[in-house]
Amino acid sequence: MISKNSCILFGQRSIIEYIQSGNPINKIYLQNNKKNIHFEKIIQLSLQYQIPVQKVPLVKLNQYTKKNHQGVVAQTSPVRFHTLSNIIQNCYEKGKDPLLIILDQITDVRNFGAIARTALATHVDAIILPFHHASAINEDAMKTSAGALAYMPICREKKLSQTITYLINSGIQIIACHEKSTRHLYQQQSLTGPLAIIMGAEDQGITQAYISQAQQEITIPIFGPIDALNVSVATAVVLYEVIRQRKFSH
C-alpha cells in the first residue's frame, strides 16, 4: 500500500526514464493482466536496480491515481540506496570495524525512523532492509528520524539469508537479538569487532532461518511484567552497549 504521504509517479515512459536517471524508487505496482514492451523494460530495470515489483488489479492502480497511469504506478523514495559491498569496503579501508543493523519484518515507519535516528547517533555504518516486509521509506519515516535518513546509508537486499552469508564471509560477526535467547546483552563478551545486529518486529520476531545463521544470540533483560521492548527502544539499548564497549570500556 502506498502511503498517503508518499510521492507517486505514473505512466510507462515516465517511470522508465525516472529509473534510468538514477532516481530512487521504493516500489513499482504493475497491472497484473497487462503486457507490452514497456512493461518488459520496467521489469528488466527493476531487476537491474533492485526495485521491488508487485502486480495488482486495475482497480488498485485507479485508487492510487485518477490520471492515465497506463497500468503502472511507482512509489518514489526520499533517500538513495547504497551498495552494501561498498559500505563494507569503505569501512575496512578506513581501518574501522563495520557496525551494521539488519531489520527483519519491521514495517512500522515510526519504528524505522526512530531506529535510523539512533543508528546515526551511534556511528552505525548502514541499515540493511529486505525487499519485502520492510518499512516504507517515505516522508513519515523521514520525519520520525528527525532527518537522520538524509544521512544514514540504507542498503536494500533481495535475500537476507544470502546477505548474512556474505557478511560472515566478510569477517563480520552476526548477532541476533530476540527475546527467546538465554544469553542477555550484558553477558556478551565483546561487541567491539566487525558486527551486524539483527533486530525483528515485536509481533513477528526474527525469522528462524536468520537466527540459525547468527553466530551469537542475545536478549535484553526485562525485569517488569512486560514481555519485550519496542523494537526501536531495544535497538537503542543494544547500540549504546556497543558504544559503551567500544569507546568507554578500557
Asked if residue 66 has pLDDT above 90, the reply is no
Distance of CA 11 to the CA centre of its chain: 27
Q: What is the pLDDT of residue 50?
A: 80
Cell reading at 95: 581501518
Q: What is the pLDDT of residues 143-182, one digit of tens each?
A: 888 888 889 999 989 899 999 999 999 999 999 999 889 8
Q: What length is written for the chain?
A: 250
Query: What confidence category does residue 79 fall into, taking pLDDT thresholds of 50, 70 and 90?
Result: confident
Q: What are phi and psi of 108, to 5 degrees?
A: -75, 125
> How far is residue 235's CA from residue 62's CA, in Å, rounded to a whole number?
39
pLDDT confidence of 5, banded at 50, 70, 90? very low
Q: Provide Rg for the chain, Cα atoms.
A: 19
Task: Count other Cβ atoms within 10 Å, centred on residue 56.
Answer: 15
Q: Give me the pLDDT at residue 188, please.
A: 72
| CATH topology classification for 84-248 | Alpha/beta knot (3.40.1280)
The whole-chain average pLDDT of the chain stands at: 90
Query: Which architecture does CATH list for 8-76?
Result: 2-Layer Sandwich (3.30)
| Positive or negative torsion for Cα 187, 105, 103, 142 | negative
pLDDT digits (tens, 9 = 90+) for 18-64: 888 777 888 899 999 888 999 999 999 998 888 889 999 999 999 98
The whole-number pLDDT of residue 201 equals: 87
State whether the Cα torsion 21-46-206-4 is positive or negative. Answer: positive
Could you tell me the sign of the dihedral formed by the alpha carbons of 93, 95, 96, 102, in that order? positive
Confidence of residue 1 (pLDDT cuts 50, 70, 90): low
Q: Where are the domains of the chain?
A: 8-76, 84-248
